[in-house]
Structure 1
């Protein structure tokens, strides 16, 4: 049996299997042999750790073989937990695919080692830096992650300069995008002149710190990573790296209740537009629905053998409260029928997702994450109807109130504003000194509010694409902000272990 045939045999398929069948076989085996499924059985867990390495190695080898041909076949010993690689046949692409396979099964240390090998062979391997940076951030190694993202930025700047130099030598003038420092035309004003008429509430007085006034500060024992405000404007929910959720009075800042039910830390929160249901995702692989009146669980999606087979990383609900969207560490983007309590669509994605957003009319949804390409999808089918190249991974994403604009907040400290009717970039908003944690649109879509790990909250005017106000809101990175639906109150949470309640004055 030759080497590539052994790899196919590990996945239990024929060597002539299609790429789709190969991927399906890999995912099925990865789910079966994921070590997290055997935490109560040490012997099975040890076996699963060996098997998952074989499966990941085999799948990475096949992907590299299909992409580059037989010259990159590697030696795989099906009886070894440490498959060997022929020195003369190593390629950056192989190690990158190997790293992706490890990351998809949450073997992050092995993934980091593979990406390091890819980068050693190709010092400008942008995708490897991106994936490695994302994993480092996920594991809490923020300084190392920042170094990766700075390297990504340097590579992109160098590539852009090389491209521009090549364009000049060919006497071709190209403008890849419009920035707020060099607007070629006032495109936003031309397209949205009527809807973005001068707002009397936005004026020079907002350029000082009075645009936000803190009226209550909550001191905590842990950093709060996730926030959600009820549409009734009466309560908000918070979650840290614990299995419990706190409910607070939005006006008084007083603790109302603690919701217990998850068995592992909370990873995401959202609240229905009725204001009656809180939805939470957790590392325990479940999504739970909470009645905010009774403070009890009313529904659970997922668990062993059902739903996601990994931590829930993002959840969002449609405006009509009929459809739920979720993404998990199993690389699955799921669409759920809430009333029937069943999954209606499962989409396998190749790069990790960090955030979800649904359009105001509920017809579209989108996601942001490690992949710079942002796909706009139909709500019911998940079908992609358009795509945007953001050029860098996304941490926060938001639709404008009229659904015509999309804002993205990224690792490279930039906010980008997109015209969804044309798919074109309108503005790049620059001013933050660290990654963007949250972007939200202001009332009527005339402004954007952003928070960042630089501890600042900024207000941007969309008729000009300029920063009009900024405040250092915390003493450490801001993890999340949420704004009430009446746009009168904003809540922020930080790694300085505080939650602050703000009166909005714009």
Structure 2
């Protein structure tokens, strides 16, 4: 069947005759969209058929609702939920307007209406990659993963094409002050080059690299985890056990298992070699945002929205201890190289240092002015880096509790931090779409790489320090090598 519809076929799909009013068209569409929603079907084949059916129903509706624009006003007046924007909807032909209306509907969780607006924006401007991206997100919210994946692929392709035609910035625009390099200058001076760009069907929320340097894992709001070969970027396994967003990941010290934490309140243990689910551990009743293993791999530390850190014996699947002290979500965890210290960063703007043997809170750092999103401990066990919504990265001496430096340069929230294995560089990912590199000793910004088109949610160094991986809300994973 062709993707293009004529008017007669569109009326047939909605079960209407050509004399149907705009109100009849709208009611028929809503009834069919509800009937053929993929979530109404349990079998994969039925779901796929429903998605194809919904696609044709949407196409028919998009065509017919503009056939009689003169009736739009009377149609809207019959529907008490219609807004003034809906009344003028059919008289506008500006893609940007439809796109903005789509964003408004998406923010109100009216995903069907949002999809309609984004579709019209795309019809008016076929190269509108932002509209493809946001329509994909709306489709994902509706459970239409095939449509969402297609939109994300189109968005990525169109954005790459658009970037190819962007003129390079003239040399005269390079800033004279190089103490804080801009993304324009650092793009040319940075030794870090993107060697692979990989994709999820939705936002990438977490990245973890195995201690043996052979594989890495990514977690996404598409509810999946992917295990990749580090050097080639080839996907080895796609793990589909979680029912909601995958927020955090950690490899065991021997690289044989992977732990994941999710908005479905569960932690899962996977076999890396096969992708097999080994255990499902439920010790939290709220989403899990952070996860790490002990050095011997026997204990798992998890933190989340319930403000606690829970210590679980992996083999026995038994909760051993609960660390309390934070007043808001525990967003990030890091364990010291000697395995004696655990550091937690929280949405209460604080960082806490815990002694694992005594289970006592040794120190609390309160210098951040926004929620703490990431913590990382250097290989020397002394330097701690923390990232925050206050747009800074702060450096701390774990022995003395003193703040050594505050790194500024990001123009939006810092969402993730990582320290290179030799402790000579700090990497940070930000909502300003960039990854930045810093020198710990001086606090100087070294390089900026800004090739993501949305927030950078996760960064991680490989064990040899020669590879950095970044994961973004733009649905991509980038592998950088120096």
Matched, 1:271 2:251: yes
Matched, 1:308 2:284: yes
Question: 2:298 pairs with 322, 330, 334, which one?
Answer: 322
Counterpart CA distance in 1 for 2:337 and 2:321 is 21
- Output aligned runs, 1:373-452, within 5 Å: 373-392=350-369, 393-452=371-430
Counterpart CA distance in 2 for 1:409 and 1:330 is 21
Matched, 1:347 2:323: yes
Q: What does the per-residue CA deviation read over 1:243-264, in whole Å, with 9 as the maximum and x for residues that have no partner?
A: 3211112111122111122233
Deviates further, 275-284 or 206-215: 206-215
- Output aligned runs, 1:457-496, within 5 Å: 457-496=435-474
CA drift of 1:219 comes to 3.9
Alpha-carbon RMSD across the aligned residues, in angstroms, is: 2.2
Matched, 1:244 2:221: no
CA drift of 1:207 comes to 8.6
Counterpart CA distance in 1 for 2:463 and 2:363 is 28
What's 2:339 paired with? 362
CA drift of 1:267 comes to 2.0
What's 1:225 paired with? 205
Question: 1:283 pairs with 257, 263, 269, which one?
Answer: 263
- Output aligned runs, 1:42-441, within 5 Å: 208-302=188-282, 307-348=283-324, 349-392=326-369, 393-441=371-419
Alpha-carbon spacing, 1:245–1:495, altered in 2? closer, same or farther (3 Å)? same
Counterpart CA distance in 2 for 1:223 and 1:243 is 10
What's 2:49 paired with? none
TM-score between both structures, scaled by the size of structure 2: 0.59
Question: What is the SS of the residue equivalent to 2:190?
Answer: helix
CA drift of 1:484 comes to 0.8
Counterpart CA distance in 1 for 2:456 and 2:229 is 21
Question: What is the SS of the residue equivalent to 1:396?
Answer: strand
Q: What does the per-residue CA deviation read over 1:365-401, in whole Å, with 9 as the maximum and x for residues that have no partner?
A: 0111122332210124421112222232211111111
CA contact (8 A) 2:396 2:402 kept: yes
CA contact (8 A) 2:368 2:388 kept: no
Counterpart CA distance in 2 for 1:415 and 1:243 is 29
CA contact (8 A) 1:243 1:265 kept: yes
Counterpart CA distance in 2 for 1:390 and 1:319 is 29
Counterpart CA distance in 2 for 1:284 and 1:496 is 23
What's 1:174 paired with? none
Matched, 1:456 2:413: no
Counterpart CA distance in 2 for 1:444 and 1:356 is 20
Q: What does the per-residue CA deviation read over 1:218-243, in whole Å, with 9 as the maximum and x for residues that have no partner?
A: 24432211111112222211121133
CA contact (8 A) 1:434 1:453 kept: yes
Flag the structure with larger Rg: 2
CA drift of 1:341 comes to 2.4
| Gapped regions of structure 1 (runs ≥ 5) | 1-108, 110-139, 141-180, 182-204
CA drift of 1:208 comes to 4.2
CA drift of 1:314 comes to 1.5
Alpha-carbon spacing, 1:418–1:217, altered in 2? closer, same or farther (3 Å)? same
TM-score between both structures, scaled by the size of structure 1: 0.56
CA drift of 1:433 comes to 0.8
Q: What does the per-residue CA deviation read over 1:401-431, in whole Å, with 9 as the maximum and x for residues that have no partner?
A: 1111111111111111011121111111111
Alpha-carbon spacing, 1:463–1:207, altered in 2? closer, same or farther (3 Å)? farther
Q: What does the per-residue CA deviation read over 1:310-335, in whole Å, with 9 as the maximum and x for residues that have no partner?
A: 12221111222122111233333211
CA contact (8 A) 1:209 1:471 kept: no
Counterpart CA distance in 1 for 2:420 and 2:258 is 23
| Gapped regions of structure 2 (runs ≥ 5) | 1-107, 109-137, 139-178, 180-184
Counterpart CA distance in 2 for 1:467 and 1:228 is 24
Deviates further, 314-323 or 274-283: 314-323
